Structure 1
Amino acid sequence: MDALELVDFCSEVLPEARTDPMRLIDRWIGEASRTGLPNPNSMVLATVGADGAPDARLVLLKAVEGRSLVFFTNLESKKALDLAVNPSAALVFHFASLERQIRVKGRVDPVNRLDVDSYFRTRPRGSQLGAWASAQSRPLRSRQELADRIAELEVQYAGREVPAPSHWGGYRLIVSDLEAWVGRADRLHDRFLFRLDAGDAIRAQRLSP
Structure 2
Amino acid sequence: MPFIYLASQSPRRSQLLAQIGVAHRLLLPLPTELDAAEQLEAEQPGEAPRDYVLRVTGLKLQAARQRAQARGLEVAPILCADTTVALDAQILGKPSDAEAVRTMLVQLSGQTHDVFTAVAVEHQGQVRQALSHSRVQCARLDAAAIERYVHSGQWQGKAGGYGIQGLAATFVQQISGSYSGIMGLPLFETAQLLEAFGYPVGHDLLQTSAPVEAA
Q: Identify whether the pair has TM-score above 0.5, normalized to the shorter chain.
A: no
Larger radius of gyration: 1
Question: Which structure carries more strand by proportion?
Answer: 1
Question: Which structure carries more helix by proportion?
Answer: 2
